[in-house]
Structure 1
Amino acid sequence: MQFPHNTNLYYIVQNTPTVKIPLDDISDLMLKLSPSIEDIFIKCFWRGVSYKCRDILRFQRTEEGFCYSFNSQTAERSTNDESNINPPFVGPDGILIPLRNNAAGKETGLKLIMSNMSSEFFPTDNRRRGFNVMIHPNDGFPDVATAYKIHAVRDRITRISVSVAQVEADESLDRLDIRNSQCYLYRAKAKNLNSLFHKSSNEDTCFIKCRMRAIYQACNCTQYFFKLYKVLQRNPKIPEDEPGFPRWSIPFSMNCSCRPPCSFTTYTTELRYEFRQFINKEPSSSRYDVFLEVNYRELFATSYRRSMRYTTQDLLVSFGGVASLFLGCSLVSIVEILYVIYKSFLVIVRNQYNNYKLNNNPAWPDATAI
């Protein structure tokens, strides 16, 4: 039933009544009908070396449906797991270890040659052929809002350059509670990340879960390409005791309260287009394939550290410095003097108390007696 093998497919679809499919079988049915890796990818390269696409790509669930991903810890582990080199790898303690790269520039990252999938479109469908490409952290789900539209254009190469910035939380943030902290500390390890309800260090995963809850609230269902979740609950949408929000004026909306993580890695992407070289040596049928390269833009990454502006110790030191400025001497010296006075006062009080007990109690032994 696949065009162009069946040329009457369009007319059959138009004249055949709708087939009722049980809701529980929709996800499995769409999974079986989705294009395979061989249908989409022609050649795959990693760091200039050609590999079988099935060996380095995995099945991935996104908000736009079933996709394929590279080096993603949130990809499905149950499918396409027969390859020993398919990243990310499972470490000795069960932690998923992604591939890393220490090179930048052309031909140093991931290169994909993809089919334009013209055989999957109806003859009267004039939409441009291409794919949606999403760059995301390996421990989070792809965010469809950041997708690039990569079209099949004659003799054109699409190159995505990636810059990396990392923010790391200092140990001083552990002393803050959730209400006083402006960020969230995620403590989960990279296990079973193909579930949306894991504690990811990616803020986009929080927004994806929020959108899923909103869809579940509106239609009591979830998209076929995500697993069913019966624990989704209603989100508050209308602010209480706030003027200007009558209920009749509030459309269906979402209230996504997602705190940014204290430690995270962000990727800044830049899209460029180039023309293929030596195009006359390529067959004419391959000139409309999709050529995509993803590589690092620089050999370095920008790192930041997030810590408390003032701790208790810093506050005492600052107060001592200001006090010393006005007193003309070190505050530590004043504290030492007060300590000596306090200890001397305790010694005097103790001696006075012993003398009082000695004078009022005849049975008390003489201090000079042996």
Structure 2
Amino acid sequence: MVANSNLYNLTGYEEFKDDPNLKVDLTELVVEVMPEHNHIKIGSSEPLLAKWKPVMTEVGACYTINSIAVLDVSVTKSDRNETRIPMSCKYSTQSCYWILECNNFIDYYIHSPYDVANIMLPPSSTYPSLNRFSELTTMETQAGPGVRELSPRTRHCLYTSEPTRETRRVYSTNICRQDCRGRLALKLCGCQPFYYFYDDGPPCTPAGMWCLAKNSHRLATFDSVKCICNQQCLDSVFREVSKEEQIWDRGPFQSRGAMRLTVRPPRARYSRYIVFHLQDLIVSFGGAAGLFLGASFISFVEITYFILEGILRYRRDDTKVLVLKRREPYENRIKELDIIIREHQTNRVY
């Protein structure tokens, strides 16, 4: 029951809400019953370098691949270098595709490699004997040179390496929304759902999870609480444009389910560029001055130079020098007076 629950379907906790002896770490319980991913086979049009990473989402413990926003939600210790660059695909005569095969029922959440799964969107499900063909389109958002050096307030977006909280290691739009829901859950029920094991606050017991079940609609809509999340400077949003399902009731594929994901080349791409640099301002100012005043930028520099030179020269000419005469020592003055008196007395005798 715990492993199959999600943030918006917690009604199963009602029968355990009044059990005082049920004090268990729900996060550890979900991780312990988490199945292995070895039975999932992957094929792709490009060499596969990414690895499956166990993460905690709002639908419980899952495995993710090709995502660089898992440092906070990973249930195992992750290195930033392991998921630094997402996989890419070069469009040529062959299309970009992924094939996933499994002999169990699986829900696949397809999301941006710069974000975590959004459970508000429906998953793509497969089960044994079902072959599912999905065609996806993507809308990419990129940033041009020099954009990263600008402040977030100026560029109106955040990179994955710019978390908004000290307890976070990465930033993404859905992680920001999870933070808002976590604060709301703490306000409504006094605890955090075990899905947010990385967040501050006491984890919910079964009684706390039942409290969240009664307020699931408020968590889904943020209960009119203002949740401001910045856009991501780098992003790639996938949407399913067509799908086809086939049932294999005989043969080797009867016991396995498969899903083939094909990605169309993007027809449009959003990019942030700096359209007006400081040097552009200088050039524009000089051009306007030359057009209306008949002067160039160097003319203003020369005018400023001559004004400063005149001010400094005026201050230098206005300075008066006070010359003080040297005063003889007192003893020398006494001797001179004594000689004068003696000479005067001698003249009187003769």
> TM-score, normalised to structure 1's length?
0.59
Give the equivalent residue in structure 1 for 2:154: 181
| 1:73-88 aligned within 5 A | 73=68, 74=70
2:211: which partner in 1?
none
Tell me how far 1:346 sits from its aligned partner. Answer: 5.2
State the number of aligned residues: 288
Matched, 1:258 2:229: yes
Query: Using the alignment, how far apart are the partners of 1:24 and 1:48 within structure 2?
Result: 44
8 Å Cα contact 2:110-2:238 kept in structure 1: no
Within 2, Cα distance between the matches of 1:183 and 1:150?
A: 36
Tell me the CA shift for residue 69 of structure 1. 1.5
Residues 58 and 257 from structure 1, CA distance in 2 versus in 1: closer, same or farther, beyond 3 angstroms?
Answer: same
Give 1:345's match in structure 2, choosing from 310, 313, 319: 310
Q: Which runs of 5+ in 1 are unaligned?
A: 1-15, 82-87, 118-129, 233-250, 364-370
Match of 2:258 in 1: 291
Give structure 2 stretches of 5+ with no counterpart.
Answer: 1-15, 203-221, 326-350
Other-structure match for 2:61: 66
The equivalences for 1:43-54 within 5 A come to: 43-47=41-45
Please give the per-residue CA displacement for 1:57-78, whole angstroms capped at 9, x wherever unaligned: 3322111222222233417766
Q: Is the 8 A contact 2:138 2:266 kept in 1?
A: no
The answer to whether the Cα contact below 8 Å between 1:163 and 1:267 also exists between their aligned partners in 2 is yes
Q: Tell me if the contact between 1:157 and 1:291 (Cα under 8 Å) persists in the aligned partners.
A: yes
Kept in 2, the 8 Å contact 1:150–1:158? The answer is no
CA distance in 2, matches of 1:112, 1:221: 37
Matches of 1:345 and 1:149 in 2, distance apart? 78
> Match of 1:44, SS?
strand
Query: What amino acid maps onto 2:303 in structure 1?
Result: L
| Alignment correspondent of 2:177 | 207
Matches within 5 A, 1:54-133: 56-73=51-68, 74=70, 96-98=83-85, 100-104=87-91, 108-115=96-103, 117=105, 131-133=107-109
TM-aligned CA deviation for residue 311 of structure 1: 5.1
| TM-score (structure 2 length as normaliser) | 0.61
Distance (whole Å) between structure 2 residues aligned to residue 141 and residue 187 of structure 1: 11
3-state SS, counterpart of residue 144 of structure 1: coil
Q: Deviations over 1:324-361 (max 9, x none)?
A: 2222x23325425524643663586478558x76xx97
Deviation at 1:256, TM superposition (A): 0.7
CA RMSD of aligned residues (A): 4.7
SS at match of 1:61: strand
Question: Aligned residue for 1:135?
Answer: 111
Over 3 Å counting, the alpha-carbon distance change for 1:218 and 1:225 in structure 2 is same
- Checking the alignment, whether the CA contact within 8 Å between 2:141 and 2:271 is kept in structure 1 is yes
Q: Which has the higher helix share?
A: 2
**C-alpha deviations, 1:77-100, integer Å up to 9, x for none?**
665x9xxxxxx9x58xx5544562
Tell me which amino acid in the other structure corresponds to 2:264: R
Give 1:112 shift: 1.0
Q: Which residue of structure 2 aligns with residue 122 of structure 1? A: none
Matched AA of 2:182: M
Matched residues in 2 for 1:330 and 1:353: separation? 33
Match of 2:132 in 1: 157
